[in-house]
């Protein structure tokens, strides 16, 4: 056992010291923090420079409405140090006998020399054109969102107001009558043993999509980081004959067990780091109610079994290959299992309690992903299903590790053409 632990320790250190791992485990969370900090900073530091906007009002009736909307906006935006958004300063353009072309060229020069931010051209038929109504917004940076948002909203309001007035309909009444009701998702109401009703918990997008996605991505990361490392490491050891030296000291199964334990330790480390980050984020967002220790416990059970199962498969494949090129074709069937699990996860996310989802969560290579998703998505599976899927998964893992050990024993000393499936089965039976 001491030797297995020595191999595990070396494998663990070899992986956690790689640049890929350091970047993956440390840099990604750091980049996320930097990104969130930047977003917060950007939100707090809005450009409040006043925007001068010229309006060519071909309808001759919309400008006043737009000017009122701008005044309302400017009041809300505040003044001085309390100013939270730019003021929009509108100016009506009088053609004064000039051609429209001359005026737009003149306005464009004003935009270029920064005395104007943008100008809007509202054509004569804007109100009556119906669905075909269109108007122009001209600026050097047409993607200046706050300005375009304001103009779009104000023009639509003004046009709608004129259309309702022309039709003799009270716009306020229509608004009240067509106001939409908001759907709020809840779990179920429970009654405690003392007879009190426990109000249902609100199911928002964070619990419905955010948490399941986080669980799914973390499971894939934890499993694949170790599996891919094992594949490359064992091929390198085989190519450089390190495996021969190691087999002079330990049995093939001890070597396999040590390597698997090493990467499982890495997967646990990775999971702990990301879980701590996830829990911290939930607490920061005031959603500590989504943290369930039982779910975290199940995650470790499923993750460790999956890391062992896929790790053993990739180790067996690596041991049967003589170089990295061979491994690319040999690894395809194993990758298909992973892709299948990935696709199945989306089926489960869409309908966690459907017969298909329940069936998929009992298929051992899919179980760690599918059952975990069902556990974090309400209403959650019955406990017997979880227990049965864990039992199946552990049995399958034991079988896969055993078969991988048989392949590993033969493959490690083989050179030349990689084996086909019948040969691999022969190695297992040998």
Partner 1 sequence: MSAIEIRGVSKTFGQHLAVNDVSLQVPEGSIYGFIGPNGSGKTTTIRMIMKIILPDRGDITVLGRRGTAAAHDDVSYLPEERGLYKQMQVRRLLRYYGRLKGKGVKQLEPVIARWLDTLGLAPWADKRIDQLSKGMAQKVQFIAAVVSEPKLLILDEPFSGLDPVNAESLRDAVLDLRRQGTTIVFSTHDMSAAEKLCDRIFMIFKGNKVLDGSLDAIQQQYGHDAVRVRLGGGVQALAGIPGLESVNDHGNFQDVRVPGDPQALLRELVARTTVLQFEITKPSLHDIFIRIARPSADDLRAAGEVA
For partner 1, the binding residues (CB under 8 A) are: 2-3, 6-7, 10, 14, 17, 237, 240-251, 254, 413
Gap between the Cα atoms of 274 and 218, Å rounded? 8
For helices 367-376 and 293-320, the axis angle rounded to 10 degrees is 170
Shortest distance, position 418 Cβ to partner 1, whole Å: 15
C-beta closer to partner 1: residue 162 or 238: 238
Gap between the Cα atoms of 311 and 337, Å rounded? 13
Bridge partners (DSSP) of residue 119 are 54, 138
C-beta closer to partner 1: residue 22 or 242: 242
Shortest distance, position 242 Cβ to partner 1, whole Å: 4
Q: Which of 6, 26, 29 is nearest to 18 (CA)?
A: 26
Shortest distance, position 18 Cβ to partner 1, whole Å: 8
Shortest distance, position 6 Cβ to partner 1, whole Å: 5
C-beta closer to partner 1: residue 2 or 134: 2
Q: Which of 264, 212, 246, 157 is nearest to 378 (CA)?
A: 212
Gap between the Cα atoms of 44 and 47, Å rounded? 10
C-beta closer to partner 1: residue 2 or 184: 2
C-beta closer to partner 1: residue 223 or 246: 246
C-beta closer to partner 1: residue 111 or 407: 407
How many CA atoms are closer than 13 Å to the CA of 428, on its beta-carbon side?
A: 16
Gap between the Cα atoms of 49 and 393, Å rounded? 61
Strand order in the sheet with 88-92: 88-92, 51-57, 118-122, 136-139
For residues 421 and 332, the answer to whether their CB atoms sit within 8 Å is no
Shortest distance, position 274 Cβ to partner 1, whole Å: 26
Shortest distance, position 5 Cβ to partner 1, whole Å: 9
């Amino acid at each position: 056992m001491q030797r297995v632990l020595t191999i595990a320790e070396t494998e663990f250190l070899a992986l956690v010291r790689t640049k890929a791992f350091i970047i993956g485990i440390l840099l990604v969370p750091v980049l996320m923090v930097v990104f969130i900090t930047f977003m917060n900073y950007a939100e707090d530091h809005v450009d409040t420079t006043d925007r001068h906007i010229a309006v060519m009002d071909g309808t001759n009736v919309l400008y006043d409405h737009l000017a009122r909307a701008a005044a309302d906006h400017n009041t809300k935006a505040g003044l001085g140090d309390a100013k939270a958004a730019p003021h929009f300063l509108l100016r009506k353009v009088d053609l004064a006998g000039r051609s429209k072309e001359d005026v737009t060229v003149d306005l464009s020069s004003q935009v270029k020399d920064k005395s104007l931010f943008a100008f809007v051209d509202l054509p004569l038929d804007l109100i009556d054109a119906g669905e075909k109504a269109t108007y122009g917004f001209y600026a050097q940076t047409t993607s200046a969102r706050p300005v375009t948002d304001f103009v779009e909203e104000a023009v639509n309001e003004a046009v709608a107001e004129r259309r309702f007035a022309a039709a003799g309909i009270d716009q306020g009444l229509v608004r009240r009558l067509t106001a939409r009701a908001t759907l709020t998702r809840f779990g179920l109401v429970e009654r405690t043993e003392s007879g009190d009703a426990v109000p249902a918990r609100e199911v928002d997008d964070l619990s419905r999509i955010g948490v399941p996605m986080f669980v799914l991505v973390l499971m894939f990361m934890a499993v694949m980081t170790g599996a891919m490392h094992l594949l490359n490491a064992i091929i390198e050891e085989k190519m450089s004959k390190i495996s021969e030296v190691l087999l002079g000291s330990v049995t093939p199964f001890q070597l396999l067990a040590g390597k698997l334990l090493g990467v499982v330790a890495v997967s646990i480390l990775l999971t702990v780091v990301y879980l701590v980050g996830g829990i911290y984020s939930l607490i920061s967002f005031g959603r500590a109610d989504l943290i369930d220790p039982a779910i975290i416990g199940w995650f470790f059970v499923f993750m460790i079994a999956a890391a062992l199962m896929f790790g053993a498969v990739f180790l067996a494949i690596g041991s049967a290959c003589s170089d990295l090129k061979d491994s690319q074709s040999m690894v395809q069937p194993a990758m298909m299992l992973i892709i299948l699990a990935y696709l199945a996860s989306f089926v489960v996310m869409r309908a966690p309690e459907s017969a298909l989802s329940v069936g998929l969560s009992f298929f051992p290579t899919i179980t760690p992903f599918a059952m975990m998703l069902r556990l974090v998505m309400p209403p959650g599976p019955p406990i017997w299903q979880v227990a049965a899927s864990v039992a199946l998964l552990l049995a399958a893992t034991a079988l896969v590790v055993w078969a991988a050990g048989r392949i590993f024993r033969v493959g490690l000393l083989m050179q030349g053409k990689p084996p086909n499936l019948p040969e691999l089965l022969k190695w297992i039976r040998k």
